[in-house]
Structure 1
């Protein structure tokens, strides 16, 4: 555009110069006046050229395409949850099948009493490991959800309900995220196997066989599924909880250790990353046997090399 205006007005100047050249020859007396007029014309032409050139960027700018900023919203956080399926085991063949994804077992048919010592131990471990993994994954998901929600200012109804439930579940004052996080422990696999082996006699107890109750957890709620104990203590009739699968019983054990004040030293040991044998020192309140129970746990733990399942 600028070149066009320069050429256009340049041609006009050239024509004027040619006119002056021939006019000087024919009209010498008028040549001086004509030269002054030409100078005025040239000056006006230059001014108009500059004026047009200056307007060009402004005109182009007006025609520029306006690019609007596009705001890209971050994907909304979705509360994490572990899904799994329950598999009822009726025989050892089913227990040895390879499976994918998250699953938990329900012991509805295997009587481990009929197996030899080595086979019984192997079957017991295989029955518990899938449920242990699911419980640990659930704790990890809860920790991740809490890490996100503690930074959020306005909660959705779903998030609000989740927070109310989880603070209540772990018996922590609503809004105390620091205390809640300290209670969300990933209890070692080795200690769950050890305590399960001790409490259920390697899966041979009646409560294990009939109610998936690995740890001899008592029931005080008459409205929940439970099994009556064989012996009563005076007027007191003891009941033990019955679970739909082994994972739910494992979850109950971990929840007990996670929320009762008496196990706070144990939780600190877990959060520090202490070894399973060191963590076991804080199980002296778990059983009436006290320190004897601790020694028993440490002995079974080390003898069976259960630490290999923590990796």
Structure 2
């Protein structure tokens, strides 16, 4: 770990590099995206903060320390949401093998089907269970961390700071969120506000697991399940071209962030 003097000197050096043109920054929408540095990030325990408090990532000068703090803050929420999803998945799998379902089981399955936006929740047959299991599944931590870092410029964007929105989710009811300054005339979408960051994580995973735009991602994940191979963010990133108007370029950015920050370790160690 750097001592206080080292951090000050590093901050001065980075500032001089930016002024001299040695490091370039670019804007994506309303967020400044810092350059990717080829360094491994070691996630340390997040600093003890009051519940619901988001660290002030903007004040962190040391890039490596900021990344470590960002991942340390977000990773537990990603893992907790995945744990909940996987518990539900295991129950679906268990019920799919039962010859008879109780009224309580049927009610629960119907609720799950509606939650995951299935069209038909009236028949609990092989087709129902097959479709439900393509949706009730985890999102690799590496993918969630890379997307969040990309969408929020490492937690410094206006939408992250003011709306706890760590994945750039939109909403379409007036007053549901924050109006982007660069929103085209005639558009009505807003960047959604969340009560806390955990709610943003939950909404992000639910979006990937239900939205028709990410059917390819779910198919890629299912293929890995069938072949009994690990489900990684590097594999599923290819199903996210619709997440950004940058399409293929966006996917390449995510893959670069996953690789340069060595995020696959969190997928390969995941119990899912």
- The normalised TM-score by structure 2 is 0.70
The answer to which structure, 1 or 2, has the higher relative contact order (CA under 8 A, 6+ apart) is 2
1:229 correspondence with 2:188 = no
Map 1:81-160 → 2, pairs under 5 A: 95-97=46-48, 106-108=52-54, 110-116=55-61, 117-150=63-96, 151=98, 153-157=100-104, 159-160=105-106
Q: Which runs of 5+ in 1 are unaligned?
A: 1-93, 99-103
Give the structure with the larger helix fraction.
1
Contact 2:172 2:188 in 1 (8 A): no
Query: Number of residues paired by the alignment?
Result: 210
User: 1:274 offset after TM fit, Å?
Assistant: 5.0
Q: 1:274 to 1:146 in 2, by over 3 A?
A: closer
Contact 1:231 1:238 in 2 (8 A): no
What secondary structure does 1:285 align onto? Answer: helix
- The normalised TM-score by structure 1 is 0.62
Q: Could you report, residue by residue, the CA deviation over 1:114-167 in whole angstroms, capped at 9, with x for unpaired residues?
A: 10212211111111111101111111111122123332634345x444222210
Q: Could you report, residue by residue, the CA deviation over 1:148-192 in whole angstroms, capped at 9, with x for unpaired residues?
A: 3332634345x4442222101112221311110121221110010
Map 1:266-277 → 2, pairs under 5 A: 266-271=217-222, 272=224, 273-277=230-234
Q: Which runs of 5+ in 2 are unaligned?
A: 1-44, 225-229
Contact 2:142 2:266 in 1 (8 A): yes
Q: Distance in 1 between matches of 2:71 and 2:77?
A: 10
Contact 1:211 1:241 in 2 (8 A): yes
Q: Which residue in the other structure is 1:285 paired with?
A: 242
Q: Which residue in the other structure is 2:168 paired with?
A: 216
Cα RMSD, aligned residues only = 2.4
What secondary structure does 1:306 align onto? Answer: coil
1:300 correspondence with 2:257 = yes
Which is higher, the Rg of structure 1 or of structure 2? 1
Contact 1:219 1:241 in 2 (8 A): yes
